Structure 1
Amino acid sequence: MASLLRKRVKGEHARVGFVELFFDLVFVFAITQVSHGLLAHLTPLGAVQAAMLLAAVWWAWIFTSWMTNWLDPETVPVQAALFVLMGIGLVMSASLPHAFQETGLSFALAFVGIQVGRTAFMVWAMRADEGLRRNAVRILIWLTASAVLWIAGGLAAPEQRLWFWLAALAVEYASPALYFFVPGLGRSRTEDWTIEGGHMAERVGLFVIICLGETLLVSGATFGELDWSSAKVWAAFISAILSTVAMWRLFFSQAHESASEAIMHAADPGRVARRAYTYSPILVIAGIIVVAVSDELVLAHPSGHVSMATALTLLGGPILFLLGTAVAGWAIWRHVNWTRLVGCAVLATGWLVVPWTTPLTLSIATTIVLMAIGVWESLRPPQV
């Protein structure tokens, strides 16, 4: 049987296949579910649960993106595997709103099915490259160990479930940092993680587009149900659109375009990709989702008192986004983006004026900060 590994051409970037884009549609649904779940349970516990579910959704997606960076998605077996993962992913996504109630076991089994099933397929598909195959075996062992905690949490009482799943996430998120060390098999070497930087940058960019699109969908759906004769509603809607456009501009800047080149020419591309694309984007994605929640809150109640939950989402979403982009830049170039960190500080000071402002005013102010950073960086591009 012919090799299922990607055929790499020196100096050329591997393109993202249509089947990969098709696969991503499942995660549009998943991100929407997480966003709506946070909005419905805007409490400290609800925020922790939403963060945990987002971390799981991201982990399932990024591990699959690593798979298609190594394997050729144009081959029939890889496409068939992606279609199976799509089906399981739909079950996982559908179970997200009640994962801490009656659908906990369904979520756990679907998530484990994605993680363990995909990795078992990788072990078989990578048999032409012993280094990658052994790496897949190590990953499979780690994910099988965490699967016990996922399923135990699904079987546990709802009030105990979070602790099992946080432990499972800790195991999974620690595994790449520990190089998937397994007694008897040793640990992986990032030098052996053949990585196509352009493909990985494009894949992560597409996931960010999914999240930004979900933000626009939430704003549009909420706006459509409101009184269009209200100037405040229109102002809130325009602020929501501009904040989303500003986040798009800040993420898809010159730095994003040069990231794939930096990875391609790095001495150890696997190590850089692990830092920049496996861990760092989770803050960016969390920020976008929180901004989506804040947009819906402001559209529904543009006037009046700013509740603590509204203030936290209005200020916390952009801070998470800016911090995430700064961390990603540091992960690739070891360069501190002071402009975005100053933006975080300015947004944090907004907490001081919360008692004297309205949701709409605070929304406009945070949008102005995001746009100002974009304009500043356009005039004085950051060094990368």
Structure 2
Amino acid sequence: MAGILRPRGQAAKVVPVELFFDLVYVFAITQLSHLLLDHLGAAGAAQTLLLTLAVWWAWMYTTWTTNYLDPDHPTMRLTLAAMMLAGLAMAAALPQAFGPRALWFATAYVVLQVGRSLVVALAARHEPIGHTFRLILGWHVISAVLWVGGAFAGGTAQVVLWVVALAAEYAAPWHGYRLPFLPRATTADWSIDSGHMAERCQLFVILALGESILVTGLTLAGGDHLSVATVAAFAIAFLTSVAMWWVYFDRSAEAAAEKVAESDDTGRLGRSAYTYSHIPIVAGIIVAAVGDELAIAHPLGPISPGTALTVLGGPALFLAGHAVFQRVVFGRVPASRLAAIAVLVVTAPVVLLAPSLVPPLALAGLAAVVVGGAAFWDSRPA
């Protein structure tokens, strides 16, 4: 496996095979948004959240892998192709992951995580980062038992075991993947190429926004009658997507990559800024896409709890995630971000108390104005 490691000290580029790999996650995001749309209740939201966290974790570990290993190396190309196949099976099983395809989902997820970790542990066995990935492999093997066991158990036991598995995986980086009789990993060993990591996360945000636009377009195309209200709701949904793109990409995206690169501990800051802080950003976009679809489908109907919570909650979650991202990287949260979140959060209970007074079209318009206002405020000359 000579030459499989990326040389440090020179900027790593995102290469076409990584973009090809991401196509699987376009499908996964679509599956997640449809899952939430079809199950707009507390249980459905909880299941969608758990599966979103699993999908994100699978993608993020691949991003960390290609930050260290050259994705254009033949071994890595084959590994990425195998992970695409496992990822496609995982995404296909998402709508029934808590039903008849639980084992399908769990097996695909385990194959993806364990298989990739094994390849990296072998490829980097003589490098400092190799120890970290051997620990990661150990944790994924342990959690694999919980994933597969939960799939066999079904029902409440499945939920409990999958929550425990996911919690263990998410907690592992914070304690250095500690395992008995082995030295823990430290973030000093995780020196990353911040430009590559930032670009990969930016591309995932673009994928999520692309799903939002796809959902709104398909909803409009599938309508039997294009009323003025329907077209207006479509336009508002598009503007909301533009505003979210503007908030994320206008200034902070590139500035954050530079800030991480200047850090004395790029592994620690990169872990917080990209591995964790981007979760509510992506989840917010997915939830907002569901709200857009509901608003376009019934622009003048009464507000249902699901419509109100997705139309307002999606942008609020996105803005909250971006606020956390800015706090982690720059040490501050813009007051405009807090004000925008407050408006969206306060509006939700008011609307739910009088659902017939505010149609989904107006609510979507309010969300667009709030997110657009945050984007405008950020764009002012310094």
Shorter-chain-normalised TM-score: which range? over 0.9
Between the aligned partners of 2:5 and 2:250, the Cα distance in structure 1 is: 31
Structure 2 residue identity aligned to 1:259: A
Between the aligned partners of 2:375 and 2:37, the Cα distance in structure 1 is: 28
CA offsets, 1:314-366, max 9 Å, x none? Answer: 11101100000010111112212221111100111212541221111000011
**CA deviation after TM superposition for structure 1 residue 8, in Å:** 2.9
Cα 1:301–1:176 shift into 2, 3 Å: same
Q: Does 1:242 align with 2:242?
A: no
| Structure 1: segments with no counterpart, 5+ residues | none
Q: TM-score, normalised on structure 1?
A: 0.96
Between the aligned partners of 1:352 and 1:309, the Cα distance in structure 2 is: 12
Q: Is the 8 A contact 2:272 2:328 kept in 1?
A: yes
CA offsets, 1:103-136, max 9 Å, x none? Answer: 000100000001111000011111241x111111
Match of residue 233 from structure 1: 230
Percent of aligned positions with the same letter in both sequences? 46
CA offsets, 1:181-214, max 9 Å, x none? Answer: 1122121111111200000000000011110000
Match of residue 318 from structure 1: 315
Match of residue 171 from structure 1: 168
| Structure 2: segments with no counterpart, 5+ residues | none
Match runs of 1:14-53 below 5 Å: 14-53=12-51
**CA deviation after TM superposition for structure 1 residue 288, in Å:** 0.3
Q: Is the 8 A contact 1:227 1:233 kept in 2?
A: no
CA offsets, 1:60-93, max 9 Å, x none? Answer: 0000000000001111101110001001111111
Q: Which runs of 4+ in 1 moved over 4 A?
A: none
Between the aligned partners of 1:81 and 1:304, the Cα distance in structure 2 is: 49
Between the aligned partners of 1:28 and 1:298, the Cα distance in structure 2 is: 22
Between the aligned partners of 2:222 and 2:58, the Cα distance in structure 1 is: 34
More divergent stretch after superposition (175-184 vs 85-94) = 175-184
Q: Is the 8 A contact 1:236 1:360 kept in 2?
A: yes
Cα 1:9–1:186 shift into 2, 3 Å: closer
Structure 2 residue identity aligned to 1:221: L
Q: Does 1:279 align with 2:279?
A: no
Match of 1:291 among 279, 288, 309: 288
Matched position secondary structure for 1:249: helix
More divergent stretch after superposition (150-159 vs 213-222) = 150-159
Match of residue 139 from structure 2: 142
Between the aligned partners of 2:67 and 2:57, the Cα distance in structure 1 is: 15
Match of residue 3 from structure 2: 3
**CA deviation after TM superposition for structure 1 residue 50, in Å:** 0.2
Q: Does 1:362 align with 2:359?
A: no
**CA deviation after TM superposition for structure 1 residue 23, in Å:** 0.3
Match runs of 1:110-259 below 5 Å: 110-129=108-127, 131-227=128-224, 229-259=226-256
Matched position secondary structure for 1:310: helix
Between the aligned partners of 2:148 and 2:86, the Cα distance in structure 1 is: 15
Q: Is the 8 A contact 1:201 1:260 kept in 2?
A: yes
Between the aligned partners of 1:137 and 1:291, the Cα distance in structure 2 is: 38
Structure 2 residue identity aligned to 1:371: G
CA offsets, 1:274-313, max 9 Å, x none? Answer: 1001111010011000000000101111112111111111
Matched position secondary structure for 1:379: coil
Between the aligned partners of 2:222 and 2:4, the Cα distance in structure 1 is: 49
Structure 2 residue identity aligned to 1:26: V
Q: Is the 8 A contact 2:295 2:364 kept in 1?
A: yes
Q: Is the 8 A contact 1:116 1:144 kept in 2?
A: yes
Matched position secondary structure for 1:34: helix
Match of 1:107 among 105, 108, 113: 105
Cα 1:352–1:169 shift into 2, 3 Å: closer
Match of residue 340 from structure 2: 343
Q: TM-score, normalised on structure 2?
A: 0.97
